[in-house]
Amino acid sequence: MKILVPVKRVIDYNLKPRVRSDGTGVDLSNIKMSMNPFDEIAVEEAIRLAEAGKADEVVVVSIGPAKAQETLRTGMAMGADRAILVETDDEVEPLAVAKILKAVVAEENPGMVIMGKQAIDDDSNQTGQMLAALLGWAQGTFASKVELDSDAVTVTREVDGGLETVKLGLPAIVTTDLRLNEPRFAKLPNIMKAKKKPLDVKSPSDYRVDITPRLKTLKVVEPPVREAGEIVPDVDTLVAKLKAMGAV
């Protein structure tokens, strides 16, 4: 079985994002970029399935700028077999990504798509679900455990009330949550091998997908700075203050 793993190049999770002074978005100039951590978990899961003999090929795909090749190489250094970059410098919204992925799926015929439940830059949490809808495939989102059989996949989902286990017929979409696994460190020989693994570069027009954004970002602002607290002498003062604020 072939597994397709979409990965996104995002601002490194260790960094504190800064908003551009004109409020049009997050300042990404000269900022360290890395693979979206949820996607890293997806790559790890796919590789583990391949190592367990349950999958025979892992293909990573990214939609984004030329620099996203680095992200794909990271995926291949971890163990993915080959990569596809759908190159575009334009902003792509979840629906456009899902449409491109649908076209990639049509070409590649994977038995399963494993992807991060969301990207840490826009936190959309939509692409997996949209892709499942477009393909008419089953979906197991927020996975904390994935068990693959020949014709079905059992996914333990992290839902608000606890854990929910679903069994999906294949092909299926699985989106990963944080506790699914701990991604490996790439081994040095594999980093070197990754350079020689095949990486195809395509464009959205190759798939005849219109990626024109449907949303307009009005402005982006930094979260308000937390203000200093105040120590009150007694409960009466506290209640009085809360009343004055209209909180009680």
Partner 1 sequence: MQVYEAPIRDMRFVLDELWVDDGFGDIPALEEFDSDLTSAILEEAAKFSREVLLPLNRSGDEEGCVLENGVVRTPEGFKDAYKQFTESGWASLAADPEWGGQGLPERVNKLVEEMTCSTNLSFGLYPGLTHGGAIALEAHGSEDLKNLYLPKMTSGEWSGTMCLTESHCGTDLGMLRTKAEPQEDGSYKVSGSKIFISAGDHDLSDNIIHLVLARLPDAPAGVKGISLFLVPKYLPNDDGTPGPSNGVSCSALEHKMGLKASATCQMQFEESTGWLVGEPHQGLAAMFTMMNAERLSVGIQGVGIGEAAYQSAVWYAKDRLQGRSLSGAKYPDKPADPIIVHPDVRRMLMTMRCYNEGCRMLGGWVARALDAEKHSQDPEVKARATDFVALMTPIVKALFTDLGHESANLAVQVYGGHGYIRESGVEQYARDARIAMIYEGTNGIQALDLVGRKMGQNTGRLLRSFFHPVSDFIEASKGDGPMKPMIDGLEKALGALQLSTATIAQKGLKDPEEAGAAATEYLRLFGLVAMGYCFARATMISDMKLAFGTEEKEFYDAKIKTATFFFERILPQVSANFLAIKAGKKSMMALSEEQF
Interaction residues for partner 1, span 1-60 (CB under 8 A)? 14, 29-30, 32
Decide: is 220 part of the binding site for partner 1 (CB under 8 A).
no
Least separation in angstroms between residue 227's CB and partner 1 is 11
Decide: is 74 part of the binding site for partner 1 (CB under 8 A).
yes
Decide: is 186 part of the binding site for partner 1 (CB under 8 A).
yes
Decide: is 131 part of the binding site for partner 1 (CB under 8 A).
no
Residue from 1, 191, 199, 220 in contact with partner 1 (CB under 8 A): 191
Decide: is 194 part of the binding site for partner 1 (CB under 8 A).
yes
Decide: is 85 part of the binding site for partner 1 (CB under 8 A).
no
Backbone Cα Rg of the chain: 21
Least separation in angstroms between residue 127's CB and partner 1 is 25
Residue 152 or residue 186: which is nearer to partner 1 going by CB?
186
Q: Whole-angstrom Cα distance, residue 172 to residue 202?
A: 24
Residue from 73, 102, 117, 202 in contact with partner 1 (CB under 8 A): 73
Please check whether residue 128 is in contact with residue 173, taking contact to mean a CB–CB distance below 8 angstroms: yes
User: Given the rule CB under 8 A, which of 49-57, 58-66, 72-80, 83-91 is the region that contacts partner 1?
Assistant: 72-80
- The residues that touch partner 1, with contacts defined as CB under 8 A, are 14, 29-30, 32, 70, 73-74, 77, 185-189, 191-192, 194-195
